[in-house]
Amino acid sequence: MITSLRGMNDILSEDYERFTYFINTATTVAQRYGFHFIQTPLLEETALFKRSVGESSDIVGKEMYQFIDKGKNDVCLRPEGTAGVVRAFIQKKLDRAGGIHRFFYHGAMFRYERPQKGRLREFHQFGVESFGVDSVYEDAAMIMMVSDILKELGIGYRLQINSLGDNNCMPAYRKKLVKFVQECKDGICEDCIRRVETNPIRVLDCKNEKCQELYIGAPKLIHNLCSGCSYDFDTLKKILEDNAIVYEVNTNLVRGLDYYSKTAFEFVSDNIGSQSAIAGGGRYDRLVEFLDGRPTPAVGFAMGIERLLELIVMPEIKREGYYIGAMDENAVDLVVKIAQKKRKTDRAVVDYKAKNLKNHLKAADKINAKFCCVIGEDELTSGTIWVKDLEGKTEAVLKLEEF
Ligand code: HAM
């Protein structure tokens, strides 16, 4: 038997209902914040991710589904959504148009990671990207949007925030950090030895316990911000406090993608095991320029849908539409015709086999129909249909032309 690939799942039935419920809720909230839908291809040039997510990141270094296509192009399945949206933003010349452009998207992402609970090779994200707003109020709006989505879904969270500085303060901090790490070089893991060369601040979120102990005394980014970044970070905290959003400052939060500067944030859940990040994002003011566009401030986030599906509190499913069945083989054609009429405005599900009333009622209940409608021999002769309201528990025999 051929099965799906490791770390790639089918989504159907109850999971699909949760999935669409999530997408609908997140879409409604994003639209309330003035965001518009964008869809970008699943496949992009590999260079796009190398230049944006960064060669030193685990995503590009180890996890890309990369191959040479029949036209000898080096391509890969997108590991995340931001790079493609930025590419589209520049390609459509929106960077030259100026103004504010706000997008949301959802879809499959691919990372060749070691699969485990909450960590898949094909997973789905809901994300938003905002271009053209050079204000920390927009960063706060991102955080409030995630918070609104999670609240609507009944999901509790912890919010961690940090500032990654900018071109004014990051280079000097990086030097200080490298000096510190080099002094404890003998004890650090292989990955950190590599990170010191490629992207030193990534050592701060190393998962190795020994490294973490060694870095306890490391200089903190937050204490080395320039006055602009420091002011923005204080403002962000104040906006969150004013809007009753509880946060923790995590000075080791650096995020696994290279394009961030200034605000970085992550939402975590304590109820889904070790893969606890349910959303993450931040500001990436240099990326548009880095991908050959006009300098444009930008900020965004993405939420991991599969991780959220485990946590969603679904509203009570309402009964909806019609179940229509025949109690006599001769009534099947009529039942199909009636269903076609009903489908112009409502859901109508037909059973093509003649059955007794008890079985029809069971089947109607199973699909959560509001009405169970049945045509038997008597109804056929009298041109009527028997209808039971499964919510109100009332029943009636109606003339077909009135139904
Ligand atoms: P990210 O933190 O790499 O950020 O991913 C965002 C979310 O996707 C994570 O918090 C997690 O919930 C989910 N996720 C990531 N990897 C997996 C996986 N292997 N299996 C299941 N879920 C996963 C980004 O992707 C950035 N593009 C976010 C962003 C948008 N920053 C600015 N704009």
Residue-wise DSSP of 23-86 = HHHHHHHHHHTT-EE----SEEEHHHHIIIIITTSHHHHH--EEEE-TT--EEEE-S-SHHHHH
pLDDT score, position 86: 98
pLDDT score, position 317: 83
pLDDT score, position 108: 98
- Here the tokens at position 240 are 């969150």
pLDDT score, position 261: 95
- The residues, ordered by sequence, that sit 6+ positions from 176 with a Cβ below 8 Å of its Cβ are 219, 224
Nearest-CA residue for atom 10 of ligand 1? 279
pLDDT score, position 255: 92
pLDDT score, position 322: 98
- Dmax (CA) of the chain: 94
pLDDT at 185 over 80: no
Cβ(310)–Cβ(360) below 8 Å: no
Cβ(103)–Cβ(150) below 8 Å: no
pTM of the model: 0.93
| Separation of CA 111 and ligand 1 centre (Å) | 10
Cβ(235)–Cβ(229) below 8 Å: no
Atom of ligand 1 nearest to the CA of 300: 33
In which band, very low, low, confident or very high, does the pLDDT at 184 lie, cut at 50, 70 and 90?
confident
Atom of ligand 1 nearest to the CA of 302: 28
- Here the tokens at position 218 are 């490391």
Atom of ligand 1 nearest to the CA of 267: 10
| % of the chain with per-residue pLDDT over 90 | 88
In which band, very low, low, confident or very high, does the pLDDT at 191 lie, cut at 50, 70 and 90?
confident
Atom of ligand 1 nearest to the CA of 53: 27
How many Cβ atoms from other residues are within 10 Å of residue 206's Cβ? 19
Mutate to test the pocket of ligand 1, among 59, 155, 157, 257 (most ligand atoms within 8 A of CB): 257
| Separation of CA 213 and ligand 1 centre (Å) | 27
pLDDT at 401 over 90: yes
The mean pLDDT value of the chain amounts to 95
pLDDT score, position 197: 87
pLDDT in tens, 197-240: 888 999 998 888 889 888 988 999 899 999 999 999 999 999 99
Atom of ligand 1 nearest to the CA of 266: 10
Q: Which fold has domain 322-402?
A: Rossmann fold (3.40.50)
The full set of domain ranges for the chain reads 13-165+246-309, 322-402
Task: Return the C-alpha torsion angle 233, 279, 316, 346, nearest 10.
Answer: 110
Mutate to test the pocket of ligand 1, among 80, 85, 261, 310 (most ligand atoms within 8 A of CB): 80
Residue in the block written with tokens 């950190």: 192
Span 164-171, mean pLDDT?
A: 95
Nearest-CA residue for atom 18 of ligand 1? 119
Beta bridge partners of 74: 68
| Separation of CA 303 and ligand 1 centre (Å) | 6
pLDDT in tens, 283-335: 999 999 999 999 999 999 999 999 999 999 898 888 999 999 999 999 999 99
| Separation of CA 203 and ligand 1 centre (Å) | 19
pLDDT in tens, 98-138: 999 999 999 999 999 999 999 999 999 999 999 999 999 99
In this chain, the answer to whether the domains covering 13-165+246-309 and 322-402 adopt an identical fold is: no
Q: Please give the Cα distance from 240 to 245 (Å, whole number).
A: 5
- The residues, ordered by sequence, that sit 6+ positions from 110 with a Cβ below 8 Å of its Cβ are 42, 65, 77, 78, 79, 121, 122
Nearest-CA residue for atom 23 of ligand 1? 304
Q: Which residues line ligand 1 (CB under 6 A)?
A: 80-82, 111, 113, 119-120, 123, 125, 127, 129, 256-257, 277-282, 300-302, 304, 306-307
Question: Which CATH number applies to 13-165+246-309?
Answer: 3.30.930.10
pLDDT score, position 154: 96
More confident residue, 277 or 182: 277
Integer CA distances (angstroms), 171 to 54, 178, 281, 332, 391, in order: 17, 11, 22, 76, 66
| Separation of CA 281 and ligand 1 centre (Å) | 8
| % of the chain with per-residue pLDDT over 70 | 100
Mutate to test the pocket of ligand 1, among 48, 101, 125, 284 (most ligand atoms within 8 A of CB): 125
pLDDT in tens, 339-398: 999 999 999 999 999 999 999 999 999 999 999 999 999 999 999 999 999 999 999 999
Report the candidate in 6, 9, 86, 93 with the shortest Cα–Cα distance to residue 300: 86
Degrees to nearest 5, angle at CA 171 with 167 and 174: 135
pLDDT score, position 355: 96
